[in-house]
Amino acid sequence: MCRSIKTLRPPMATEVGPEDVHAAALQYVRKISGFRAPSARNREVFDAAVEAVAAATQQLLDELEIRPAPAAAASAT
């Protein structure tokens, strides 16, 4: 369904900025709702959904356990 959503971070990356998280959340809510820009009547619920998705995304990224990249692991020994 969401084939055009870009991967937010490569599997071994550790840095994702708040702007990246918000942009991904906005893209997701737009895709799911079918609205690029909501009407004034739906603005509040649309913005709340973006914030909820951004918070869930940030929590996921914060809690994922990421193994060191192969090059970093080799140079650490």
**10 pLDDT higher than 80:** no
51-55 LR contacts (CB < 8 Å, sep 24+): 51/25, 53/25, 53/28, 53/29, 54/21, 54/22, 54/24, 54/25
11 band by pLDDT with thresholds 50, 70 and 90:
low
Domain that includes residue 41, residue range: 36-61
**61 pLDDT higher than 90:** no
Whether 50 is covered by a domain: the verdict is yes
Whether 18 is covered by a domain: the verdict is no
Whether 48 is covered by a domain: the verdict is yes
Residue 15: per-residue pLDDT: 76
Whether 67 is covered by a domain: the verdict is no
As for how many domains the chain has, the answer is 1
Residue 17: per-residue pLDDT: 86
Whether 49 is covered by a domain: the verdict is yes
Which is more confident, 34 or 61?
34
Residue 62: per-residue pLDDT: 87
